[in-house]
A and B are shown apart, each in its own frame.
Chain A
Amino acid sequence: MPLETVKIPATAAAGDELDTLSAGLDRLQSEEDQRSSAWRTIVGKVLPPVVLLIVLLVAWQLYVVIAQPRPDLAPGPLQVAAALGDAWESGRLQEAVATSLERGILGFLIAIAVGTPLGMLLAEWKVLRRAAGPLISGLQVLPSVAWVPAAIIWFGLSDATVYFVILMGAIPSIVNGLLSGIDQVPPQLRRAGVVLGASRWQLATAVILPAALPGYLAGLKQGWAFSWRSLMAAEIITGAGTMGFGVGTMLQQTRELADLAGVLGTILVILAIGILIELVLFGPLERRLLRSRGLAPGGAR
């Protein structure tokens, strides 16, 4: 057979030299690849946002210096930084960030634990899906702040109120993400699983869930965004009370003190935390996931 005759000279005749040559070539190419791509990453991805940030800060500072607005209505970046510095020195900033992150992450994890099985149940049980689908979509659109008054009446000014609002915000997103992920599983993969003799459970764990992972991750990402927003809303509305001191509480307190520099500083902290979570957690996770399936723009190679 010609296939064999093609193969034999490649292994026997050309021998070790070809192996070493190609191995060396592979290494050269991959190393060059990495260097150029690392450099390109810095130039192409890290530089633009940093430059924009600096431009915005400079413009802000120039506006304050040139236009000389009332400092209590338009504080400059330095004043905001000073306000944050004060909050840091008194330990309030660290406490607020730690408290809010703890609540946000814990609430998010609970939402995952509740939303994932719920989504799987809805995906597999068509009648339930038809019945509850519109409700879930509606809940996703409903701003979860709307739950705060009810939650305060039910749970008082306690952590339970905060977690309740987070869950109401995050669970519908996670469920919907998982559902759309499962809906988008190519039917031929499902069929391949059946043909390979997978049981119902094996089909779910070995085929459908991994195939639905990109949609699920998108749902998780949105779920986190909703968790974080809901948390801030809940903290702002409930104020300190008997609860711990979160970033939202800090925002509310600085407002009560008419400390605009503090308010803006706190907003920047909230923004920074959102960006940081995206940069260190969801971004890389999503990129890796898509790249491993050849879905990322610009691909693996």
Chain B
Amino acid sequence: MTGAPDSSLSREGSLSLEGVRGASLLAPSFDGVAPVAPPSAPVEPIVRIDHVSKRFGSGPLVLDDISLDIAPGEFVCLLGASGCGKSTLLNLIAGLEPVTSGAISVPSTGAAVMFQESALMPWLTARRNVELALRLRGVPRSERREEALRLLGTVNLADAGDKRPHELSGGMRQRVALARALAQDRSVLLMDEPFAALDAITRDLLHEELERVWRATGRTIVFVTHNVREAARLGQRVILLSSRPGRIAREWKLGGTAGRRIESPEVSALAAEITTELREEIRRNAA
């Protein structure tokens, strides 16, 4: 919440695929402030997606030659219309699906994943759900309870540990799911439209919650969404995918993201710009 002025949004023009990584071509920001070089550029990427293509069986190409490097601690939003393969890309990173060609390198421990539905075990209390993740990670029994309570504390649910999922609201369930994902102790966290099913007020609060957790834990987050404002609100980088086949259409890099709110003017401005681009992509499909 310090120094960086609100207007220090910058973007990287990267219509072509090779432009994504180099970060050499920095176009002026839409609001006219000189772009800030991304601090993550020289760092070894934690996730490297290298010319990845994907098709299911003999079907059409879903993802076409995607290349993307994600630096440790980065918050990347994958944005696109329905059917652009953004969830497929996430599943590829998670290792739930094999790639058709290309390569993906992730940390050897793998990545934690969170879905649109909380997918909590309905017969376990919130704490037990988190403990299950700890157990599957190999944490000794004696330490699980305390660790689970600590993790529930990080999502402000320390008091709800003994409640079962059906006794919790949708937002609380997603926070338990977040605590469970954090329990895996993996540096990369993949989120597949985790707040899509929630009402706007809850989602707004969860954005703040997630940003707080992200800053506190230093996780690398890849966040898939079809909500332009959500992407503009959360991401340090917003990557727009085109549809059928999914390609990286454009990328925005944002500096000084602390203190952003969904109603902040720079979020609105960026969202408007992204929307224009997104509509352009959709229009292309009509032709």
Contacts and interface: CB of A to CB of B under 8 A. Distances in A.
- Do A and B pair up? The answer is yes
Interface of A: 1-3, 7, 186, 188-189, 191-198, 202, 206-207, 210-211, 213, 292-295, 299-301
B136 A206 contact: yes
Contacts of B115: 188, 191-192
Contacts of B112: 195
Interface of B: 94, 96, 110, 112-113, 115, 117, 119-123, 132-133, 135-137, 156, 164-167, 180, 184, 205, 208-209, 212
Contact of A196 (B122, B133, B208, B212): B133
Chain A to chain B: the 6 pairs with minimum beta-carbon distance, closest first: A294-B166, A192-B119, A188-B119, A195-B113, A293-B122, A196-B136
Contact of B122 (A193, A194, A294): A294
Contact of A198 (B136, B156, B208): B136
Contact of B209 (A3, A198, A294): A3
Contact of B123 (A186, A194, A292, A300): A292
A22 B208 CA distance: 28
Given A188-B117, A189-B119, A202 B136 contact: yes
Given A196-B133, A293-B123, A3 B212 contact: yes
Contact of B121 (A211, A295, A301): A211
Contacts of A293: 122-123, 164, 166
A3 B123 contact: no
Contact of A211 (B123, B132, B133, B212): B123
18 contacts: A3-B156, A3-B212, A191-B96, A191-B115, A192-B120, A196-B136, A197-B110, A202-B136, A210-B121, A211-B121, A292-B164, A293-B164, A294-B122, A294-B164, A294-B167, A299-B166, A300-B164, A300-B166
B132 A196 contact: yes
A257 B165 CA distance: 60
B96 A194 contact: yes
A21 B126 CA distance: 25
Nearest to B183: A196
A149 B273 CA distance: 81
Given A1-B212, A299-B166, 15 more contacts: A3-B205, A3-B208, A3-B212, A186-B119, A188-B117, A188-B119, A191-B119, A196-B180, A197-B136, A197-B184, A210-B123, A211-B121, A293-B122, A293-B164, A300-B164
Contacts of A195: 94, 96, 112-113
Contacts of A193: 136
Given A188-B117, A294-B165, A213 B123 contact: yes
A1 B260 CA distance: 11
Contacts of A197: 110, 136-137, 184
B221 to A, nearest CB: 15
Contacts of B117: 188
Contacts of B164: 292-294, 300
A188 B118 CA distance: 9
Contacts of B165: 294
Most B CB contacts (10 A, CB to CB) among A186, A188, A196, A198 go to A196
A277 to B, nearest CB: 24
Contacts of A207: 121
Contacts of B113: 195
A188 B113 CA distance: 12
Contacts of A188: 115, 117, 119
Contacts of B184: 196-197
Contacts of B123: 210-211, 213, 292-293
A240 to B, nearest CB: 47
Nearest to A289: B123
A1 B208 contact: yes
A153 B168 CA distance: 60
A283 B96 CA distance: 40
